[in-house]
Amino acid sequence: MHGSVKKDADMLLPIRRETFCEQIVSNLKRAILSGEIEGGTQITETQLASRFGVSRGPLREAMAQLATEGLIHSVPFTGTRVIKLSVMDVREIYSLRTALETLAFQEIWDKRDHAFAEELESRHSRLMDTLKIGDHVASSEAEVGLHSLVYERCGHKLLLESWQRVAGRLQLYLALHQRAHGRTGPIEDAHENYLTLAMCDDFELMRKEIESHMRRGVDQLEDYVGL
């Protein structure tokens, strides 16, 4: 009897605070990435607490995380706003992504193995699955996850930290990229050369593919954010 009561009580334990905060982060991030909350919009804890039906404590934590990811920023005497990518931001993200990913592959080149290849294919399959549901937010998240692998496996801690600091803003970049092209995800063969050359024997070919891969669509995105 006592064992049954204890089991039922365990099942009714409240959601951990960390989990609740993560849910708020996910919901707020989706609203930003989908354009529901547009870039440049001023936001307050009171407004968001009312909108999402949450208390201001965990919301404050969620906003701090999104600020770390570069999706919102605070301006002294002005307030907190959702980041609005400029043409200069697009160009900087392109150049930084190219440099970071080239270095990541340079670091991992002699350490690539079957496990790395399998996980790369698995994450690409996950990205392709998002195309079936027509959700550009899920697609942008999966694409960031695909590109994250080389940073996670290359063994360069500072490089991984640098990537993690720009990954949130990159997801916004990718979501905007899909909108600029009128799609809900990348074209199906967008990563075909990337996947093939990531496991080839010629680093120079991979370096050129990284530069080309990052460059595709940038001009159109510059025009889109410059409107």
- Whole-prediction pTM value? 0.81
Checking DSSP bridges between strand 79-82 and strand 72-75, what pairing results, if any? antiparallel
Exposed (0-12), middle (13-18) or buried (19+): which is 178, by Cβ within 10 Å?
Answer: buried
**Mean pLDDT, residues 93-102 taken together:** 94
- Residues above pLDDT 70, as percent of the chain: 90
| pLDDT, tens digit, 9 for 90 and up, residues 50-96 | 888 888 888 888 999 899 888 999 888 788 999 988 889 889 989 99
In sequence order, what are the beta bridge partners of 42?
81
